[in-house]
A and B are shown apart, each in its own frame.
Chain A
Amino acid sequence: MYTQGLDSKTEHGTQPPPRLVTAEDNRFQERVDAEEKIEPRDWMPEGYRRTLVRQISQHAHSEIVGMLPEGNWITRAPSLRRKVALLAKVQDEGGHGLYLYSAAETLGVSRDELVEQLLSGKAKYSSIFNYPTPTWADIGAIGWLVDGAAIMNQVPLCRCSYGPYARAMVRICREESFHQRQGYELMLALATGTAEQKRMAQDALNRWWWPALMMFGPSDDQSAHSAQNMAWKIKRFSNDELRQRFVDATVPQAEFLGLTIPDPDLRLDPESGHHRFGAIDWTEFNEILKGNGPCNRERIEARRKAWDEGAWVREAASAHAAKRAARALKKAG
């Protein structure tokens, strides 16, 4: 679903060590500046490769972990139409995970390595999926707000300098914008439904609003890699710019639903035309990144359980493939 500015200054060991700028670096930067796409076989600085592996794999992990909070509600969707839509959405997320892992593989890492990093807790995924989905309205709120925030972040990634990532993002964005509309439509049904449904919708907005704003990552003055990533055209807009765009797009949507955004400081600044919003509680964000969110443990446990319980299946598939290959060889010989 989404890649997040997880690159806060507290994260160690991800910055490439300082080194001399070579002629290759300069040539690379010229290509990037000329908006040429960098392809897997092209020369690239080690820091560029490392940044992309980290970002694309975090994005892939987010898609996979993101299947869990929504998957919760597939068996409880209140109509068959909603059930089919949710199944299709969660399936799309699995598909996004698959292309993103493939895009990361073009940079010389294997999917197994990346999965191992997720399961061992070494790799990060979007903090948003560590929040629970206790009610049906959470499915609407995730589609509307979480996918809405994801789109803000991801549309610029369609122009990312790295070709395989940019191309994967084109397809992903198309599907995400469909999910976002679906989520909004679900919220609309609740907001215009019975009093209980409306209460459910408001409650979900109350719980998802701030986490959605945090999805854009730390403020620009706290973000470690922004300048280099901008120069490499991995990133096109700063975290704060994207967050502002999201708020400006979402406030009128909430008004249309007749729901209240849980921010007493929210107001329209008539001069700039932007909605000014209150202070984000970064302590909560940092705690969730550290593993202390309401569902961090459950999410990783669920992924590990699926992986461990599936080991015999994967082993059987490999054993069978080996037997087949041996039989084919024998037949040919």
Chain B
Amino acid sequence: MSTDRQQALFGYALRLGDTSLVLGHRLSEWCGHAPELEEDIALTNVALDLVGHARLLLSYAGEIEGKGRDEDRLAYRRDVFDYRNHLLAEQPNRDFGHTIVRQFLHDSWAVELYGRLAASADPTLAGIAAKAVKEVRYHVRHSADWLIRLGDGTDVSRARVADALERLWSYTGEMFERDAAEDTLVAAGIAPDPAELRTAWNTRVAAVLEEATLDRPTDGWMQKGGRRGEHSEHLGYLLAEMQFLPRAYPDAVW
């Protein structure tokens, strides 16, 4: 594999892995605090799947990089500016409505992405995606169902998810960005074309918003930077919490 391609693939696996890890972490913050027991279980289940995907993707990233970094080295020993997750994933839970909107916007992207990535020319990514897509199909059903319930529920729930949608919408543009590294992967049939993902995402999101009786926010200014290591203030706190033990006891094996 050429160095450029290798570098691009490393970056690609890292972006996907970091996004899964950070979002999985956010969801895991709900464990024991959800609005009902069934949701404690459901949100934890999604968190488990996402951390599972992160493990596969980060292990693969480490392997491609070839510098001996394993999943834990990558997860626990990088600072904010080396994380490559979408900004959407690191946004705080706020309330259940925000969590559901964040999840739905992400899941709608993930299900389209992994469905296509399962046919990737890279057999490892294809394998990971084939496993992930089966789980992500459940995730999107769960988050879409809740978005519909909350949108078409009471005045209070509707106001809350409408607010969350307004607030989080500007983080959706980043999911469809494309850079030179990704161009290489798209050309090689390794990664799906982000433009194609955007079209599919738009259709999916529009259908659910309609059923939820919610208006689609207009595409204005989009926040970006997560994929290049430029993050919000929230990620630092998340990493401080997540990385505390390996940082405090650098020689320990757990």
Contacts and interface: CB of A to CB of B under 8 A. Distances in A.
Contacts of A84: 48, 51-52, 55
Given A75-B25, A91-B48, A306-B35, A67 B40 contact: yes
A74 B28 contact: yes
B152 interface: yes
B76 A78 contact: yes
Contacts of A189: 253-254
A87 B31 contact: yes
B35 A80 contact: no
A309 B160 CA distance: 13
Nearest to B253: A193
B44 A94 contact: yes
Given A68-B32, A91-B48, A317 B254 contact: no
9 contacts: A74-B31, A75-B241, A75-B242, A90-B31, A94-B40, A189-B254, A317-B149, A319-B157, A323-B152
B252 A310 contact: no
A223 B14 CA distance: 58
Interface of A: 64, 67-68, 71, 74-84, 87-88, 90-91, 94-95, 97-98, 101, 136, 189-190, 193-194, 196-197, 302, 305-307, 309-317, 319-321, 323
A95 B41 contact: yes
Nearest to B96: A313
Contact of A194 (B76, B148, B249): B249
Interface of B: 21, 25, 28-29, 31-41, 44-45, 47-48, 51-52, 54-55, 58, 71-72, 75-76, 95-97, 148-150, 152-154, 156-157, 160, 241-242, 244-246, 249, 251-254
Dominant SS among interface residues on chain A? helix
Contacts of A323: 152
Given A75-B29, A302-B32, A312 B41 contact: no
A186 to B, nearest CB: 8
A59 B32 CA distance: 16
B190 to A, nearest CB: 25
Select the residue from A64, A81, A87, A95 with max chain B CB neighbours within 10 A: A87
Contact of A196 (B21, B52, B249): B249
B41 A98 contact: yes
A97 to B, nearest CB: 6
